[in-house]
Structure 1
Amino acid sequence: MNSKISFRDVVKTFPLKGESFTALGGVSLDIADQEFVTVVGPSGCGKSTLLSMAAGLQEPDSGGVLVDGTPVSGPGPDRGVIFQQYALFPWLTVRQNVEFGLKLASVPTAERRRRTTQAIDLVGLSEFADALPKTLSGGMKQRCAIARAYAVDPQVLLMDEPFGALDALTRVQLQDQLLRTWSQEKRTVLFITHDVDEAVYLAGRVVVMAAGPGRVHRVIDVALPYPRTEEIRLSPEFRRIRNEVWTSVYHQEAPPRAA
């Protein structure tokens, strides 16, 4: 496999009440170019820490994180990061929010406008390009955040519970929107979620993590065709994979104790 993102025996600890908490205890994982991978696991298994390291927002205590074979040493335009909170500038319109990163990168005006318009069209917000965030629904705000990430043309999208705060219907709609966008503008996607159904519906592979310490418990292939549809979501094969992931997440054995 030609790896786009590689985690090599990554260890990360944090101080906690005068002791050391091991968020990641030697995680190794490879994600291929243009692959859509979701990560699920119980609270405290290090999912968000793993994504933060790929984003360059945190550093491992030992081991390494590589993108295209190059060690990650900080944030970069090759990686777009989308969090659960939209983090939009409330005084800027949708167009201005999407354009913001391109301005910082000193992209020429004509190219900046072209890429901004393309990204807004891609997420279906053309009619709201001149609207302020306060006039948008939660789903629209998240689509704006996704458009902003796409506008800078990243090779990798790192998404940490991006739909977690949305109602169930909006969440399903944005899952479909994200998959349509990914099918048109293939990127490598690492997507963190607590929702097992979401993990299976979106991914080509589901990484199930375990806690105490954070580690890869299982990697489950999702042999379902794209584009994903409601028919696939209701299929026996989807239910089978979903049950396999659910069991892997919620019926894990405790790690062996050191002698």
Structure 2
Amino acid sequence: MAPKIVFDKVTRRFDLKDNAFVALDRLSLDIADGEFVTVVGPSGCGKSTALNIAAGLLKPSEGTVLVDGKAVEGPGPERGMIFQQYALFPWLTVRQNVEFGLRIKGEEASRRRQIAERFIDLVGLGDFADALPKTLSGGMKQRCAIARAYAVDPSILLMDEPFGALDALTRVQLQDQLLDTWSRERRTVMFITHDVDEAVYLANRVIVMAARPGRLKEIIDVGLPYPRTEEIRLSAEFMSIRNRVWQAVYHQ
């Protein structure tokens, strides 16, 4: 089976005042259909740059990103993007935010509502469908953003530190929520994080990046079963993989 996402020798340079800064250097990586991949590495290693190129928000200076065998030329509906900041429309309710992409796609009102309610329930916001974002906690806003991304039926989710601004307890709860949603919907996920524990807990594979210039350092398989549980998080197997990732990230 062909990979879902292919980074083929992708380089990205940014022109600074006196010279060019190489943010990403000849990154080659395949991500399988339905795979959950996390990407970790020190600041400046090109994690978000790679994600933004896959999203079509940046163009590579050299190389190509392929999705389903086709070169990425810009944003597309098959790729849902979720940012660290919630990016909800503050004047729209939870339901209206989740319906927004469906409205752009031209779905009729009854169909929009049916789809929105499904994903609002899936992320546990059924009691808050008519609430405005200002009345929601940070974790609830991020769940709304995840529901909105899922509603337009992307085959790929690109997530840039989506839980980075949350407190530790909410973060763990949303990790479990995300894995539960992923296990039911089985989209391909590329998830950027600075948190080594989070990277191991979520992923099939952890991609470790090296900095300046940003490049692939190591790929670490996570042979832990799903569903992931608190028992797994406390297991010796988890700690062994976590320590390997930690060494790869912080001893460069």
Pair in the same fold by TM > 0.5: yes
Residue 256 (structure 1) aligns with: none
Give, in angstroms, the shift of residue 15 of structure 1: 1.8
Whole-angstrom distance in 2 between the partners of 1:69 and 1:176: 31
Give, in angstroms, the shift of residue 179 of structure 1: 0.1
TM-score normalized with structure 2 length: 0.99
Q: What is the percentage of aligned positions where both structures have the same residue?
A: 73
Number of residue pairs the alignment of both structures matches: 252
Runs of 4+ in structure 1 off by over 6 angstroms are none
Tell me if 1:78 matches 2:73. no
Alignment of 1:122-201 (within 5 A): 122-201=122-201
Partner SS state of residue 4, structure 2: strand
- The CA deviation string for residues 182-202 of structure 1, in whole angstroms up to 9 with x for no partner, is 001110000000000000000
Amino acid at match of 1:173: Q
- The CA deviation string for residues 99-141 of structure 1, in whole angstroms up to 9 with x for no partner, is 0111011112222111111110110100000000011000000
* Mean CA deviation greater in 11-20 or 205-214: 11-20
Residue 3 (structure 2) aligns with: 3
Structure 1 residue runs without a partner (length 5+): 253-259
Residue 64 (structure 1) aligns with: 64
Structure 2 residue runs without a partner (length 5+): none
Whole-angstrom distance in 2 between the partners of 1:111 and 1:32: 31
Alignment of 1:1-259 (within 5 A): 2-252=2-252
- The CA deviation string for residues 177-236 of structure 1, in whole angstroms up to 9 with x for no partner, is 000000011100000000000000000000000012110000000000000000000000
Partner SS state of residue 81, structure 1: strand
Whole-angstrom distance in 2 between the partners of 1:2 and 1:240: 31
Amino acid at match of 1:25: D
Amino acid at match of 1:24: L
Whole-angstrom distance in 2 between the partners of 1:48 and 1:163: 14
Amino acid at match of 1:177: Q
Give, in angstroms, the shift of residue 16 of structure 1: 2.5
Whole-angstrom distance in 1 between the partners of 2:20 and 2:44: 14
Amino acid at match of 2:65: V
Whole-angstrom distance in 1 between the partners of 2:74 and 2:118: 28
Amino acid at match of 2:110: A
TM-score normalized with structure 1 length: 0.96
Give, in angstroms, the shift of residue 18 of structure 1: 1.7
Give, in angstroms, the shift of residue 19 of structure 1: 1.2
Whole-angstrom distance in 1 between the partners of 2:17 and 2:232: 46
